[in-house]
Amino acid sequence: MRQSIPLLRLAAACAAAPLAAVMVLAATLLVAHPGDWPMVAGALVMAAAGTAVCAALWLHTSQFIASACQMMDQMPDAEAGRLPRTPVTELQALSKTYSNMASRWAARRQSLTKDAYTDSLTGLENRNSFSRSLTTALDRVDRNRSVALLFLDLDRFKQVNDNLGHAVGDELLRAVARRLLQVAESVTPGVRHGSVRVGRLGGDEFTMMVAGKDVEQRAMRMADGVLAICRKPIVVDGHELFANVSIGIAFAFQRMPTTELLRRADIALYNAKSAGKGRHSIYRAPLNEPDIDPAALESGLRRAVERGELEMVFQPEVDLKTGYTVGMEALLRWNHPHLGRLSPDSFIELAEESGEISRIGQWVLHAACRELAALKQSHEVAADLVMGVNLSAAEFLGPELLSSVRSALRESALIPSSLRIELSETVLAENLADAAEAMASLRALGVEVAIDDFGTGYSSLKYLQSLPINVLKIDKSFIDGMGKDERSNAIVQSILELGRKLGLEVVAEGIEARDQALALRRAGCTRAQGYLFAKPLARAELDQYLFDEQERRATHVA
């Protein structure tokens, strides 16, 4: 209540003052900070009384006081019984005093604002500021406006800090921040004031946001630009450093919590690092997530072939004695325009239910055979390679299997023994008699047949002995347990022994560590595939992989 007394005094002064004075006093209150109204009111009452004690007057512009000086100078002399007006010189002095105080206050406010919303090391938005920007963008998502979030992490930053010190690490982070801004500016000019945001969450974690239209294309351009520019060396204190990054990308095509989009981008980042680092990965949403419309996914799947969205990647299979490539497995990917790269687990069941599996299966067979034929023409080391193609139960047991295989071989001019059809043990559980008949037909044609993920499903030794197969592939779960679990060791040894007795080739899947490869080799396994040797490779990457192998072979011979 005490703070209201100056306001009452001001009201009394205004009631007795000419109209011009009322305007000055009222306007002054309007531009003052609300929390300072009582103080402003008291100070102006004293100023109207001729007392120049306005040093603490908090106005937003000193120009207003200058205008007040002109207005007061034009006011008539006070009539008897009214408050004498303040001399203009005193108001001018007040204006100068305030101007200095306002400048200091503005500088301090700017500093506090910068500290609150800016990362002190890089000058980018800090975690709080970026989260606010992201939340604002997500609140505006509608049918014409989407959001893309890129989550970035330096791949080997810890080694820089540990080996060269934190000062070098800090300078590396500043250099990376400048490069991110450079890429963002190239994608969307005016990045600092536009629909693109760049932030640092802390440590070596950075974020980039794209909002508005065409976010998919802009986000991918940004990700590709970041990967490219970060492969260039950065010189810090005489050290040539490479700030390779991994990037997780997530899209929001409808409103969602900020934490959810961050979670999705974080998952995608983890996938990028797991796939070998120095790359980007797009968040792949499970079909049961509420923002994924199965009907829309099915509709997109029906047009995936025509739109060229299906892609094959290839994982080499190597000889454990020589390390040379003896085959490869063709793996299907769907480059969905919104959900990113999807593995077959995400859409094969839907393809079977919708009837699209036949078209997709034919595309896979033809694409795999075409690629193998091209590789054999381009690479001497690919002359004897065998291409493995996975088929689902619906594809393998379907009536068009043989005609599709014959057509693919004829189109690519491959000999049948260059193709290997791989199926899981669940296919045997579907219908053993039909599966055995299909296998026999393929073998009669000269095509190899393999059981994938062997040891995890239905098969028994009796049925296995009667099936016309060539290859057993040991499931990764048993390989992971080698050296840790005696049961896994025993199962692997048993499968290898079984293969030898039945005259079958045995391939170990999912080799990730050198000790696994050595243990398998000692146990008599001759073929393997896994990230230790190569990840699934796009065609261009596979070309380079085979070129490198050719050089290794030539060097070994020399």
- Per the structure block, which two tokens stand in for 163? 């080996």
The pLDDT score that the predictor gives to residue 293 is: 60
In this structure, what DSSP letter does residue 237 have?
T
- Per the structure block, which two tokens stand in for 531? 């990230």
Are 142 and 101 part of one and the same domain?
A: no
- pLDDT average, residue stretch 82-91: 46
What is the extent of the structural domain holding 31? 4-116
109 against 446, higher pLDDT: 446
In a domain, 147, yes or no: yes
- Among the candidates 96, 116, 136, a domain finishes at 116
Are 74 and 137 part of one and the same domain?
A: no
Are 394 and 457 part of one and the same domain?
A: yes
- pLDDT average, residue stretch 423-452: 86
Report the DSSP pairing between strands 527-528 and 310-319.
Answer: antiparallel
Question: Residue 403: which CATH number?
Answer: 3.20.20.450
Instruction: Kindly state the helix (H) or strand (E) to which residue 75 belongs, with its residue range.
Output: none
Residue partners of 446: CB distance under 8 A and separation at least 6: 415, 416, 417
Are 54 and 143 part of one and the same domain?
A: no
In 118-254, alpha helices (H): 127-139, 157-164, 166-187, 215-230
Percentage above 70 pLDDT, the chain: 73
| Domains contained in the chain, number | 3
- Among the candidates 88, 116, 144, a domain finishes at 116
Are 245 and 387 part of one and the same domain?
A: no
Q: Give the tens place of pLDDT for each residue, 136-188.
A: 999 888 877 889 999 999 988 888 877 888 889 899 999 999 999 999 988 77
Confidence band, pLDDT 50/70/90 cuts, at residue 319 = very high
Question: Residue 170: which CATH number?
Answer: 3.30.70.270
For residue 132, CA distances in Å to 233, 254, 456 come to 33, 18, 48
The pLDDT score that the predictor gives to residue 100 is: 62
Report the DSSP pairing between strands 245-252 and 280-282.
Answer: parallel
Are 340 and 452 part of one and the same domain?
A: yes
- Among the candidates 266, 282, 298, a domain finishes at 282
pTM of the model: 0.52
Are 104 and 243 part of one and the same domain?
A: no
Q: Give the tens place of pLDDT for each residue, 509-554.
A: 988 778 889 999 999 999 999 878 888 898 999 999 999 999 988 8
- pLDDT average, residue stretch 357-372: 94
Report the DSSP pairing between strands 310-319 and 340-342.
Answer: unpaired
Q: Give the tens place of pLDDT for each residue, 194-236.
A: 578 999 988 889 999 999 888 888 898 899 899 989 888 899 8
Are 134 and 78 part of one and the same domain?
A: no
Are 102 and 34 part of one and the same domain?
A: yes
Confidence band, pLDDT 50/70/90 cuts, at residue 53 = very low
491 against 366, higher pLDDT: 366
Are 226 and 334 part of one and the same domain?
A: no
Are 383 and 239 part of one and the same domain?
A: no
- Per the structure block, which two tokens stand in for 362? 């034919």
The pLDDT score that the predictor gives to residue 256 is: 84
In a domain, 515, yes or no: yes
Confidence band, pLDDT 50/70/90 cuts, at residue 387 = very high
- pLDDT average, residue stretch 445-464: 76
